[in-house]
Amino acid sequence: MQKQRRVGILLFDHVDVLDYSGPFEVFSLTVNDPADVPKMLLNRISKEEKPFIVYTLSQYGQQITAHNGLKIQPDYSLNDHPEFDIVIIPGGPLTAVKSGISNPELLQWIAEQHRSNKWVASICSGAILLAEAGLLTNRRATTNWFVLDYLENNYPEVEVLRNVRYVDSGDVMTSAGVSAGIDMALYMVGKLLGQDAAQTTAHTIEYPYLDAAKA
């Protein structure tokens, strides 16, 4: 049986909903065996049978209000979560991300996750939080088209790539805006479980898998 991996997705006020919910669905709807897809869609697959278990967390475990008003109650806080194998840092409006880069506790947590986890990945403007935490120094990265210039101008140590859906920099990954996080999550599934598994998940969610879009 495949190793089960824990995925932690950070949430904060004004986070973009699809930034976190896209990868949440990709990992949650992935199975080890394509024959398990009907059972999974009927909610008849046990937690133990899934290759990924996905959790959400906020700084203090508090309910957050996403961009455009959706309210979400995370599972954990920064101080009481289980150990994760993959950490996802979504984005949001630049004002929300700027609030994050002036939050030393949050930045320290992101840096610590990188030191202790296999992968840390950002969606959209979440790349700015990775850059501020030092994770993108001397690495290639991308972000939402609207903040590409901001990332490039404020973090000259980062090689900013344009016109790509996501960038694989080893143990750190970044995606372009919003829906590009789905492509990156599918790519991560493919790296861990094989391309057939990624294609099965893409078919399950009826999403075109754009593996050629990575850099």
Supply the range of the domain harboring residue 104: 5-210
Give pLDDT, residue 214.
Answer: 57
Among candidate residues 204, 197, 210, 201, the one with its CA nearest the CA of residue 2: 197
Domain-located, residue 107: yes
Domain-located, residue 186: yes
What global pTM score does this model have? 0.94
Domain-located, residue 86: yes
Domain-located, residue 215: no
Domains in the chain, number: 1
What CATH number does residue 62 fall under? 3.40.50.880
For 14-60, how does the pLDDT look when each residue is reduced to its tens digit (9 = 90+)? 999 999 999 999 999 999 999 999 999 999 999 999 999 999 999 99
Q: What's the mean pLDDT in 196-206?
A: 95
